[in-house]
Each structure stands twice: as structure tokens, then as C-alpha cells.
Amino acid sequence: MIYYDFYAKLQKSIVSAKEKEELFFFYQRKAVPLHPNHPKKYDMPQSLHIAIIGGGAAGFFAAIEAKRNFPHADITIFEKNSKVLAKVEITGGGRCNLTNSFEEISDLKQAYPRGHKLMKRLFKRFDNQHAFDWFEENGVPLVTQEDQCVFPQSQDSHSIIDCLVNTAKRLGVKIQCNHQLTAITELEDERLLLDFKVSKEKGNLSGASSASFQKASSASHPVSGIRQIAFHRVAITTGGHPKQESFKHLSDLGHAIEQPIPSLFTFNIADKAFKNLMGTVVEPVYTSIPGTKLKAEGPLLITHWGMSGPAVLKLSSHAARYLHENNYQIKISVNWVHESNRSLVEENIQGIIIANPQKQLASIRPYNLPSRLWLFLIQKMGYAPEKKWSEMGKKGCNLLIETLTNDLYQVNGKGAFKEEFVTCGGISLSNIDLHTLESKVCPHLFFAGEVLDIDAITGGFNLQAAWTTGYVVGQHIGE
């Protein structure tokens, strides 16, 4: 009766993933007959072998969910490097911005320039709130910042890494480091033969000091050379790649590859005087590319090479292909006062002139702009800081309003945003079953994470895509 009560709860989706996992393992050990109408995907043969290629966020999530849904399956994560979850370790400045509240997102296209339609569909099954609950249920308390970014309460990415690694190990997921996938061959028995290049280096699973990672270091393969293994199911979760050649083993199977290009980066600015303002933060601003509908908003940071901050990173994501096509040589417009209504800005400036006619320009900062930036803008307009507000005149006011709302700079190339380097492009979504994320080209091959043509702006949205797509793959890979 206990099992049947549980099954009734399961049918109503009111049982936690952990309860489900524990109960299925219990009945597996006791050899108790399952309910006659239990879901077919839990009745899998013990010989089912599943490979997860890529030991990142999507890979671990797919492996964990697959093991919970198909406990009889033998599941192995293969990572080409000597440590797993390296990107998770450094994201958010080492604190791991693992998702977002989405409170400020009214349309998923705002967060996902590419793949928003698929994400909207998959969010019905596993969204940001599900991810939030998943980590808290698995022992990681979370906090949401004022900017809606979600972090572990510990403010340490190792809380997330420990959770994923320990959960995978507890469920019996195997982990092999130093295994780089080089080829996939479809066999007559419908299995997939994987060719791995195995390196000599033995490394721990995380590259961190956590004891749980050190204990698991023996999972790496000690012998160099080529290794071939056949699997019933394979999930590719290798993340994005900057070069098209990295997708060769997938294109050889017949998959269409959307050209991979950078989609999250800073801007190099040629103006030396502007770069002297490095360290200045203006919050918030609008950024846009003249002659297009591409725009973004948020804090802007002036650096020693140009511009950074969310207002720039978001714009680089939305404009990734446009920027690539123009060789990263474009004009960028900055609205320093975060006010798109020019008439309101004019009213503000006229109010300053009326109230402070004899004051110097340098002494009154419109919209409380940072002092260094305001002095720079005065000089950029060709005025002396000592000039009085009453001397501006109509022409001077128009120039000031234009400078505050549409200040143009020449972008000469991109800088790398090392913490969250993201590419757009990858496996074309037209080649994927949008419900299961299985390949339409190669049966039993699945995809999750950034290897798909899905990418997002900064703020925890890319990791959310990893959790969502990994979860969906984990629901179907053993069917």
C-alpha cells in the first residue's frame, strides 16, 4: 500500500525528485513489483548505457535527472579536461550566478536573443523557479539580489559544484576526465560508437580544494591514446565552441551548424580621453547601435580598454551577428541620463539654467552624473568648465541635450569577458525534437546546454538554459 500511495502522489506531481529517487531505488533493491501502470520510462533494462559528453552544468544536470528517472541505467559523464564544472566555478566572480528571478523579463526574447521560443516551451516543464527549488531541496540555500540575480547564500560557487558532484556520485553516476570526443559512429544495432582521445594527465574533478572533488579524482583515465566505447544513448553537453571545426564530428552525422561567434563581450573604444575615466560607473544608461533597433540598458563601466558592464554585455549579445558582420567596427550611442524622452531632458536643463544662471557648468551636474564624466562631457562639447549656465544659449542647450542622450563613440574591436564567455551558434534547432531535445538526424543522440543554438545575456540566464535543457534531456534519454 505504501507504494501505491506514493504512485498516486507521483501521478499528481506532488512528490519531490528526491522522494522519487529514493523510492525507486528501494523497490529496485527489494525487487518489489512495480505498479502495473507505472510510467514506462522507469522500466528500463539494467544494460542501458548512457554517455554524457561534457562535465559542465548541463551535463551534470542531465546525468542526475537521467539517473533519477532511469535508475537501472549505467550513466557516465565524459569531460575532456582534467576538471569538471570549471565554468561554473568562475561564473559570477566565483560566486556562481546560477539563475535569475526573471522579475524584470516580460518576454524571454529580452534574455535569450537566440532560442527564446524553445526556452518558452521548455520553461513550462522546468523554469527558474523549479531550478531555485531544486538547489534548495538539494541542500543549497539561495539568495536573490536587488538586480534579480540569484546566488548561493554562501556566495561561493563551490556550494553549487559540491551539490552537483556529490549528488551525481550518490546516485552512482560515473565521471571520466581527460576524455575528448573525436567521432561518433552509428552502429547497426542502433548503438552509438564513441571515439575518445584520452590524455595521460590525471586531474581532480573540479580543480577546487573541496574534499569531495579530490576523492573523485581517480575517475580520470590514466592511459593516453584512443578509446572506443559503444552506448545506447548519448547526450552532447559540451558547451559552446568558438570554431566551426569543433562541431565536425556532429556535422559529419548530418547536423546543420549555425556559425559559432562570440556573443558576450566588452567594447574597445579608441578615444584615449574617454579611457582615462576608467573605473567610472554610470547607472543606469541606455546603449544602442545607430541605424538599428538593437539596444540595451543597465550599468555601464568605463575600463582602460573601453566599455563594459551589463549595458554593454547585453548589447553585445543581442547584436552578436550584426557586430560580427561589421568586423566589430561600429558606432555606439550612449544615453547617459537613461531618459528617452528628449523633451523631459530639455525641461531638466532649462530648470538648471533658470535656477543657477551664474553658476559654472562644472559646479552643477545634470542627473547627478559622476564628476569625472561630467567634466569630460563638457570638454568634449568644446566648452570650458568655468562657462556659466546662462551663457549656454539655444545652440549650446541642444548640443548638451544631444550629448546627454545620444553620445557617440567609435568601437574598434571587442574585448573578452573572461568570466562568462559565451558563443551564439551551434546545433541548429531545426535538427532537434523540441519536446525531447533528441536529434532528428541521429536517433538516440541528445543535446543540452550551449552546444545548441541558444544563448543569453549576462545575469544567470545562460546557466538557467543549462539547467532547463539538461533537465529535459534527463527526462527522455532513457526512453
Average pLDDT over residues 212-225: 45
pTM comes to 0.82
The pLDDT confidence band at residue 201, using thresholds 50, 70 and 90, is low
Helix, strand, coil percent values for the chain (each to nearest 5): 40, 25, 40
The pLDDT confidence band at residue 429, using thresholds 50, 70 and 90, is very high
List of residues 6+ apart from 369 with CB closer than 8 A: 282, 336, 337, 377
Is residue 213 over pLDDT 80?
no
Average pLDDT over residues 349-360: 96
Cell 593516453 belongs to which residue? 224
Average pLDDT over residues 141-160: 98
The pLDDT confidence band at residue 241, using thresholds 50, 70 and 90, is confident
Is residue 334 over pLDDT 70?
yes
Per-residue confidence (pLDDT) for residue 464, from 0 to 100:
98
Backbone angles phi, psi at 306, to 5 degrees: 155, -115
Q: Which of 368, 371, 366 is nearest to 349 (CA)?
A: 366
Per-residue confidence (pLDDT) for residue 131, from 0 to 100:
98
Average pLDDT over residues 149-178: 98
Which has the higher per-residue pLDDT, 202 or 327? 327
Per-residue confidence (pLDDT) for residue 242, from 0 to 100:
81
The pLDDT confidence band at residue 230, using thresholds 50, 70 and 90, is very high
According to DSSP, the residues that pair with 411 across neighbouring strands are 269, 330
Average pLDDT over residues 76-91: 95
Is residue 128 over pLDDT 70?
yes
Average pLDDT over residues 382-406: 96
Per-residue confidence (pLDDT) for residue 208, from 0 to 100:
36
Is residue 420 over pLDDT 50?
no
Q: How far is CA 64 from its chain centroid?
A: 19
C-alpha distances (whole Å) from 132 to each of 102, 127, 128, 463 are 12, 9, 6, 12
- Helix (H) or strand (E) holding 30, with range, is helix 17-30
Is residue 13 over pLDDT 60?
no
Is residue 30 over pLDDT 50?
no
List of residues 6+ apart from 77 with CB closer than 8 A: 52, 54, 55, 59, 60, 63, 84, 168, 173, 174, 175, 176
Mean pLDDT of the chain: 88
Residue type, 158: H
Least confident of 63-67, 311-315, 418-422: 418-422
The pLDDT confidence band at residue 417, using thresholds 50, 70 and 90, is low
The pLDDT confidence band at residue 18, using thresholds 50, 70 and 90, is low
pLDDT in tens, 189-200: 999 999 999 997
The pLDDT confidence band at residue 243, using thresholds 50, 70 and 90, is confident
